[in-house]
Structure 1
Amino acid sequence: MFQDITVDELLKLQEKKELMLVDVRSPSEYRDSTIPGSLNIPLFNDAERAEIGTIYKQDSAESAKKRGLEIVSAKLPEFIREFQQIDANKAVFCWRGGMRSKTSATVLDLMGIRTYRLQGGVRAYRKWVVENLEQIDFKPEAYVLNGYTGSGKTLILQQLREKGFPVMDLEGMASHRGSIFGQIGLRPNNQKTFESLLLQDLMAYKDSPYVLFEAESKRIGKVVLPPFFIEKKEQGMQIFIDMPMEERVRHILDDYKPWEHKEDCIEAFEKIRNRIHTPVAAEIAANLQAEDYASAVELLLEFYYDPRYEHTAKQFPEERRITISVKNAEEAAETIQEILIGQKANIK
């Protein structure tokens, strides 16, 4: 018989790499929000789920169950085959730990596939996330990466994370770059997904002496940072990056690839056009139409983003500011690494 486990038990097993989480809800439910690290092997696809829901409302629960059984019976061989390909123990879950996860776990158990089922499903996990975010006492010192737009802050953080430094990629969690152009080429995450990913990192780094993350405003795309994290950012050591304009333009072009998203770039620009001096705005618009993206980006930096950023450093006292002048992201990562190693002994 399959075994029911709590959220805490599930996460302990997952942390030990002893478990693969499988979300058996429909693909659209999975895309909306799931438990980080889980796979999606749906018992019903979106159309099938909608059909069963309609039968439940218009006819009866018994008729809905009968139709559900007909659908599941036809797809059981492929459903089981997908689980057999997972070389690890499995834990299945649905929305409330109800019929879909129970059916999945029962069938898998009958086939000799060891399976756990999450009590309460995604709803219980979401409750656990909210409660822990409200109660967490996150003690690591914050090192906050600041810099003009295009300074390669995300790239720098990635390089430091690969070297083993405790890095939190807030924009990666939000799947948004934090500006009016920030969702181009991306599918932004909602608040539930963001908070799950944020808590995952907070738990992973809770015993670290410090963490490093990018300076973000309260809102990143569709998501909002919790108040305690904003306070942590404001009280942290602020590292400011000074990098040549041409390198910043190159970073933006490499990251956004505007030639693949021309209409999205034009649409985003129109949202801020009236905030830029009219002749400059007209030149940027012309450059975007002509696909002269390097010129458009440089003008946006010089006349829109840089002036909005210049006051930031002055908000922090000198004892909490470090400014580094570098040629590129690689040099910045090396310099920050030296700063962190040099000051590590001073972090209690």
Structure 2
Amino acid sequence: MRQNTAHYACLFLNDIPLLDVRASVEFSHGAFPCAENHPLLNDHQRELIGTEYSLNGQQAAINLGWQLATREVVQARLANWSDFVQRHPQGYLYCFRGGLRSRTTQTLLRAEGIRYPLVEGGYKAMRNYLLAELEKQSKRLPFVVISGHTGSGKTELIQSAGRALDLEGIARHRGSSFGHTGHKQPAQIDFENRISIDLLKLAQNPGAVFIEDESRLIGCCALPPVLQNAMKAAPWVLVEEPLENRAKRIVRDYVQKAVPHIGDMGTSAAAALGEALRSSLGKIRKRLGGLRYQQLDAQLAEANCALAQSGSSAAYVPLVMALLKEYYDGQYDYLMKKRESAPLFRGTLAEVNAWLANTGASLRA
């Protein structure tokens, strides 16, 4: 029979499936990439038992728990857990601290002839382990930062680099005011947990880790300060692409590729995308100034209309070029001037890609 475990590194390095028996509200605040939530207690039951514990102690809370565990409730829980066990015979279960809820779940499963191990220390111990690893690996791993103006193709380089940490991929956001991908962003704790697990996996082999230059916020996800500090101190590579090339790449990624992911509830994809783009433009209205915002908003309306009527995205290109010149490039140039070191290499996207394939390979070795 498999034993309970406290080998947290093994769980995360091997993507071991985890049965999370905490309440749904706890799971939504933070969990792990390979975890599924099948609660022992629903949110209301958890609240009732917590109140009973505070007023009358642990045994009273346990007694209340068994009163709430009607036959129908127990059978529903067992059905969910049994299904998980069948799908993931090598997994483990956990609650918040690896205590009463985990052991109650084990007891109920055991009565059905199912022996399933738990994670000692539960969610809290695993979360503390990942926070410690995030601190450790952020200071230890040899990062190389890929820098460049918006639309330079930095994300493409990260995705093809092999040993890389894809922060935008983890955050499900492209980082700018227009960076919404159509997918819900993870909770902050989930974002941090995934970064830590990816760093832990990267640390199993030597070599440089490539990472895209990012500001503190990627959408609603905040970079952990320890990682942000490591990125500021790391050597860097600069991608320099012509303005029109960058604008066309942005239109491809933000418009052409976005349309299939945005339409819902009977609204056409083009119309939904147009609304999303106008909302994003509104976020930088104050920095553009009232008159310039009105001009760009009118230009955006024309581009949205062309997309809806003919499917053409060409009208977005001059609009994006204007936004890059008048807003994004100035911000990025200001940050670049604050760098104290010269880049390891600078060149076009094709040149940097070739450098990564040659010199970059020696950095990864």
TM-score normalised per structure 1: 0.81
Residue 252 of structure 1: aligned partner: 254
Higher mean displacement: 48-57 or 206-215: 48-57
2:267 matched to 1:269? no
Report the counterpart of residue 343 of structure 2 in structure 1: 320
CA distance in 2 between counterparts of 1:190 and 1:125 reads 17
Q: Aligned partners of 1:249 and 1:261: how far apart in 2?
A: 12
* Deviation of the 1:322 alpha carbon: 2.1
Residue equivalent to 1:339: 356
Residue 43 of structure 1 is matched in structure 2 by: 40
Runs of 5+ consecutive residues of structure 2 not aligned to the other structure? 263-269, 306-312
Amino acid in structure 2 at the alignment position of 1:284: L
Structure 1: which 5+ runs fail to align?
Answer: none
- Note if contact 2:22-2:40 (Cα within 8 Å) is conserved in structure 1: yes
Is contact 1:35-1:125 (8 Å) kept? no
Cα deviation code 1:35-88 (max 9, x no counterpart): 232222333444554566577779962334311354532314522441243143
Q: Displacement of 1:157 after TM fit?
A: 1.8
For the pair 1:242 / 2:244, whether they are aligned, the reply is no
Alpha-carbon separation, structure 2, partners of 1:80 and 1:225: 35
SS of match in other structure, 1:198: helix
Distance 1:58 1:347, change over 3 A: closer
Q: Is residue 43–residue 72 contact of structure 1 (8 Å, CA) maintained in 2?
A: no
Deviation at 1:267, TM superposition (A): 2.8
Alignment-derived partner of residue 127 in structure 2: 126
- Residue 166 of structure 1, CA deviation: 0.8
Q: 1:150 — aligned with what?
A: 151
How far is 1:34 from its partner?
0.6
Give the match for residue 97 of structure 1. 98
Give 3-state SS (helix, strand or coil) of 1:320's partner: coil
Q: 1:141, 1:347 within 8 Å by CA — same for their partners in 2? A: no
**What is the Cα-based RMSD across aligned positions, in Å?**
3.3
The one-letter amino acid of 1:300's match is L
TM-score, structure 2 normalization: 0.77
Paired residue secondary structure (1:301): helix
Letter in 2 for 1:341: N
Aligned-partner residue type, residue 330 of structure 2: P
Give, in whole Å, the separation in 2 of the partners of 1:44 and 1:194.
26
Counterpart of 2:10, as a letter, is K
**1:1-348 equivalence runs, <5 A:** 3-6=3-6, 9-16=7-14, 19-46=16-43, 49=46, 61=61, 62-70=63-71, 72-136=73-137, 138-160=139-161, 165-183=162-180, 185-206=182-203, 207-243=205-241, 244=245, 245-254=247-256, 256-257=258-259, 259=270, 260-290=272-302, 291-292=304-305, 294=316, 296-316=319-339, 319-326=342-349, 331=350, 335-336=352-353, 338-345=355-362
Query: 1:179 offset after TM fit, Å?
Result: 2.2
Identical aligned residues as a percent: 28
1:117 offset after TM fit, Å?
0.8
Q: Which moved more, 1:96-105 or 1:217-226?
A: 217-226
Partners of 2:88 and 2:80 in 1: how far apart?
A: 15
Counterparts of 1:86 and 1:29, CA distance in 2: 23
Per-residue CA distance 1:8-40 (angstroms, 9 max, x = gap):
x143155346x4211122333323211232222
When you count strand as a share of all residues, which structure comes out higher?
1
Amino acid at match of 1:336: N
